[in-house]
Amino acid sequence: MKTYLVGGAVRDKLLGIPVKDRDWVVTGATPEEMINEGFKAVGENFPVFLHPKTKEEYALARTERKSGKGYKGFTFYSSPKITLEDDLKRRDITINAIAEDENGNLIDPYDGKTDLKNGVLRHVSSAFVEDPLRVLRVARFAACFGFKIADETMELLNIISKSGELNELIPERVWTEMKKALTGKYPSRFILALRSCHALEELFPEIESLFGVPQDKKYHPEIDVGRHTLMSLNQSVRLSPDPLIRFAVLVHDLGKATTPKEQLPNHDGHEERGVSIINSFCERHKVPNKYHDLAVCVSEFHLDCHRIQEMGAEEVLEKLEKLDAFRRTERFKQFLIACESDSRGRAGHEDKEFPQAKYFLDALEISKNIDLDLLKNKGLDGKKLGDALKKERIKDLKEKLLSN
């Protein structure tokens, strides 16, 4: 029996990235021997065991054969005769097919270390095309590491996209890969990689439809909504590591893809259309509520944020109330970062200040600093108290914000 550290743990160790989870492969062993050593069996489809002390996963070396549709359509075979190289061959890309023995020696039969050095994502074998989830995984690795996809691997990604197998992926797995990509250093590369192999139109047609739609015919005719979206996404990375903000930025302009020609170039009414599309997108992909909630908020009100300095005190207060900024201040701050990302996501605006964010936040602070006890001491309650509070907020906004 021999034990090897494999996959992402070895890859991240070589990249100098903190290792989060460690997976192990065991050769020369049977399930009975693992149990006798104190391991607990947990695998349903193939022999996986939990270490009695560390609780890390140890899987018996195995091979796999395509037996059905989707990423679950595989039959696995495990035996003490299966070698480490056999097990590594079933893995998706070379940088994930490196193992380390108990003495720290690397076993790298598919030259993953060279691809790590050169920043290349390359498939291990032609069996790569059998698992549709690998399209999303490779795109996610491009987003996380910034690596280039090998031309021959891109050809296989195209084959998978055209096979119809992407439709077999369950929504939760699709969302999991997108969420991981959004936490990467280069999330826009996730979209670009999927688009390059024609998977974006299959998985996220709402995003694919943004490409080719003019963003601003008058000032930037060369930029379409898709490119603006990716530029905004890049800006969100500069401003925050928060994946909720990045998702909101990614989908904030989905309504523009459905703009009737007569409403171009201003995309009138796209906010309302965008909210409806985001609702459908999030429902289809089982997107968690906190992502969905902020995305709708940004889509519906980002143009109001851009114009906030042009509004009167009554309208500023109305926007704060509609944004629920008094109760959900942290979400309001996320909203402001997303709006700034949108503003900077245009050629020549990448480093421009966005004073609207501070202005809007100042408006909130002024509106929150009303002495409510003073109003209550006047005997006001219920609707009268609410009306008086609103009146005081408008008064302070006029005196402390709009007069500056």
Q: Is residue 339 part of a domain?
A: no
Domain of residue 55, residue span: 1-117
What values do phi and psi take at 128, rounded to 5? -50, -40
225/42 Cα distance (integer angstroms)? 47
Q: Is residue 209 part of a domain?
A: no
142/246 Cα distance (integer angstroms)? 16
Q: Is residue 59 part of a domain?
A: yes
Predicted pLDDT of residue 46 = 73
Do the Cβ atoms of 337 and 305 come closer than 8 Å? no
SS3 assignment, position 211 = coil
**In terms of DSSP H, where are the helices of 119-269?**
133-145, 151-163, 171-182, 188-196, 200-203, 205-208, 225-239, 243-251
Predicted pLDDT of residue 102 = 92
108/172 Cα distance (integer angstroms)? 32
Query: Burial level of 21, CB count in 10 A (0-12/13-18/19+)?
Result: exposed
Predicted pLDDT of residue 9 = 94
Predicted pLDDT of residue 197 = 97
Q: Which of 64, 88, 117 is the last residue of a domain?
A: 117
Q: Is residue 220 part of a domain?
A: no
Q: Is residue 360 part of a domain?
A: no
Q: Which of 82, 102, 117 is the last residue of a domain?
A: 117
Do the Cβ atoms of 210 and 226 come closer than 8 Å? yes
| Total number of domains constituting the chain | 2
Tokens of 127: 């069996």
Predicted pLDDT of residue 74 = 56
Beta bridge partners of 120: 148
What values do phi and psi take at 28, rounded to 5? 70, 20
Q: Is residue 248 part of a domain?
A: no
Q: Which of 65, 88, 117 is the last residue of a domain?
A: 117
CA-closest candidate to residue 153, choices 134, 174, 168, 167: 134
Q: Is residue 54 part of a domain?
A: yes
Alpha carbon distances (Å) from 249 to 252, 334, 340 = 5, 11, 10
At 85-126, the pLDDT tens digits run: 999 999 999 999 999 999 999 999 999 999 999 999 999 999
> DSSP per residue over 328-342, as a string?
-HHHHHHHHHHHHHH
Give the CATH number for residue 5.
3.30.460.10
Q: Is residue 65 part of a domain?
A: yes
Which parts of the chain register pLDDT below 50? 67
